[in-house]
A and B are shown apart, each in its own frame.
Chain A
Amino acid sequence: MAVPAAGVAVAVGAIPLGHARAEAERLGPVVGFLAAVLVLAHFCDAEGLFRACGAWTARWARGRPVRLLTAVFALASAITAVLSLDATVVLLTPVVFATAARTGVRPKPHVYACTHLSNTASLLLPVSNLTNLLAFTASGLSFTRFAALMALPWLVAIGAEYVVFRRFFARDLAAAAPSPRTGEPPGLPLFALVTVACTLAGFVVASTFGVEPVWAALAGALVLAGRALVRRTATPLTVVRAAAPAFLAFVLALAIVVRAVVDNGLAGALGHVLPGGTGLPALLAVAALAAVLANLINNLPAVLVLLPLTAPAGPGAVLAVLLGVNIGPNLTYAGSLATLLWRRIVHQHEHGVDLEEFTRLGLLAVPSALLPAVVALWGALQAL
Chain B
Amino acid sequence: MRVIAWLVEGTWPACVDAVRTYAPHASEVVLLHVSGEEVPGVAHGAFAGLLGRGHPWGRPPAEGWGRDPGDLLADLGGTSAAELLDAAAARLGRPCTRLERGGRVEREVVAAAEGADLLVLARDGDRERLGPRSLGPAARFAVDHAPCPVLLVWPETAPDLTTMPPPPPPPSPLPHSPHHR
Do A and B pair up? The answer is yes
Q: A residues touching B (Cβ–Cβ < 8 Å)?
A: 1-2, 38, 42, 65, 85-86, 89-90, 93-94, 97-98, 101-102, 104-108, 111-112, 114-115, 118-119, 170-171, 174-179, 241-242, 244, 246-247, 250-251, 254, 298-301, 329, 333-336, 339, 342-343, 346, 348, 350-354, 358
Chain A proximity mask over B58-96: 1 for CB below 8 Å, otherwise 0: 000000111101001100110110011001000000000
- How far is B27's CA from A208's CA once the two chains are assembled, in angstroms? 74
Q: Which 5 A-B pairs have the closest CB atoms?
A: A352-B37, A335-B49, A175-B10, A101-B80, A353-B41
Given A1-B56, A247-B53, are A93 and B73 neighbors across the interface (CB < 8 Å)? yes
Q: Is B49 in contact with A339, judged by CB distance below 8 angstroms?
A: yes
Contacts of B45 in A (CB 8 A): 115, 333-335, 350, 353, 358
A89-B46, A114-B46, A298-B49 given. 14 additional CB < 8 A pairs? A86-B50, A112-B42, A171-B136, A175-B124, A244-B53, A246-B66, A254-B51, A298-B51, A300-B51, A334-B44, A339-B48, A346-B57, A350-B45, A353-B38
- How far is B52's CA from A38's CA once the two chains are assembled, in angstroms? 14
| B6 on interface, CB distance cutoff 8 Å | no
Contacts of B65 in A (CB 8 A): 38, 42, 86, 90, 242, 244, 247
Chain A: CB-nearest residue to B91: A178
**Cβ-neighbour of A104 out of B10, B40, B52, B53 (below 8 A):** B10
Q: Is B76 in contact with A300, judged by CB distance below 8 angstroms?
A: no
Given A38-B65, A94-B69, are A101 and B52 neighbors across the interface (CB < 8 Å)? no
Q: Is B49 in contact with A90, judged by CB distance below 8 angstroms?
A: no
Q: Is A98 in contact with B56, judged by CB distance below 8 angstroms?
A: no
Question: How many Å from the CB of A165 to the closest CB on chain B?
Answer: 13
- How far is B73's CA from A353's CA once the two chains are assembled, in angstroms? 14
- How far is B46's CA from A289's CA once the two chains are assembled, in angstroms? 22
Contacts of B12 in A (CB 8 A): 178
Given A115-B46, A171-B136, are A251 and B52 neighbors across the interface (CB < 8 Å)? yes
Contacts of B38 in A (CB 8 A): 108, 352-354
Would you list 23 pairs from A and B whose C-beta atoms are within 8 A, ordered by A residue? A2-B52, A65-B10, A89-B47, A93-B46, A94-B72, A97-B43, A101-B80, A104-B10, A106-B10, A107-B9, A108-B39, A170-B126, A171-B124, A175-B8, A179-B87, A244-B66, A247-B52, A250-B51, A254-B51, A346-B57, A351-B41, A352-B40, A352-B41
Given A104-B10, A114-B46, are A300 and B52 neighbors across the interface (CB < 8 Å)? yes
Q: Is B10 in contact with A176, judged by CB distance below 8 angstroms?
A: yes
Chain B: CB-nearest residue to A249: B52
Chain A: CB-nearest residue to B49: A335
Secondary structure call for the A interface: helix
- How far is B124's CA from A206's CA once the two chains are assembled, in angstroms? 53
- How far is B44's CA from A353's CA once the two chains are assembled, in angstroms? 10
Chain B: CB-nearest residue to A351: B37
Q: Is A106 in contact with B9, judged by CB distance below 8 angstroms?
A: yes
Q: Is B42 in contact with A353, judged by CB distance below 8 angstroms?
A: yes
Contacts of A342 in B (CB 8 A): 56
Chain B: CB-nearest residue to A254: B52
Question: How many Å from the CB of A35 to the closest CB on chain B?
Answer: 11
Given A104-B9, A104-B10, are A111 and B73 neighbors across the interface (CB < 8 Å)? yes
Contacts of B147 in A (CB 8 A): none
Q: B residues touching A (Cβ–Cβ < 8 Å)?
A: 8-13, 36-53, 56-57, 64-67, 69, 72-73, 76-77, 79-80, 83-84, 87, 104, 124-127, 136, 155-156
Chain B: CB-nearest residue to A250: B52
Q: Is B10 in contact with A178, judged by CB distance below 8 angstroms?
A: yes
- How far is B49's CA from A45's CA once the two chains are assembled, in angstroms? 22
Contacts of A250 in B (CB 8 A): 51-52
Chain B: CB-nearest residue to A101: B80
- How far is B42's CA from A94's CA once the two chains are assembled, in angstroms? 12
Q: Is B73 in contact with A102, judged by CB distance below 8 angstroms?
A: no
Contacts of B11 in A (CB 8 A): 175
Contacts of B13 in A (CB 8 A): 178
- How far is B57's CA from A222's CA once the two chains are assembled, in angstroms? 33
Q: Is A176 in contact with B156, judged by CB distance below 8 angstroms?
A: yes
Given A115-B46, A118-B46, are A102 and B53 neighbors across the interface (CB < 8 Å)? no
- How far is B79's CA from A336's CA once the two chains are assembled, in angstroms? 32
Question: How many Å from the CB of A168 to the closest CB on chain B?
Answer: 13
- How far is B41's CA from A358's CA once the two chains are assembled, in angstroms? 11
- How far is B66's CA from A246's CA once the two chains are assembled, in angstroms? 10
Given A171-B125, A175-B10, are A101 and B51 neighbors across the interface (CB < 8 Å)? no
- How far is B156's CA from A351's CA once the two chains are assembled, in angstroms? 33
- How far is B64's CA from A42's CA once the two chains are assembled, in angstroms? 8
Chain B: CB-nearest residue to A116: B46
Contacts of A244 in B (CB 8 A): 53, 64-66
Contacts of A301 in B (CB 8 A): 51
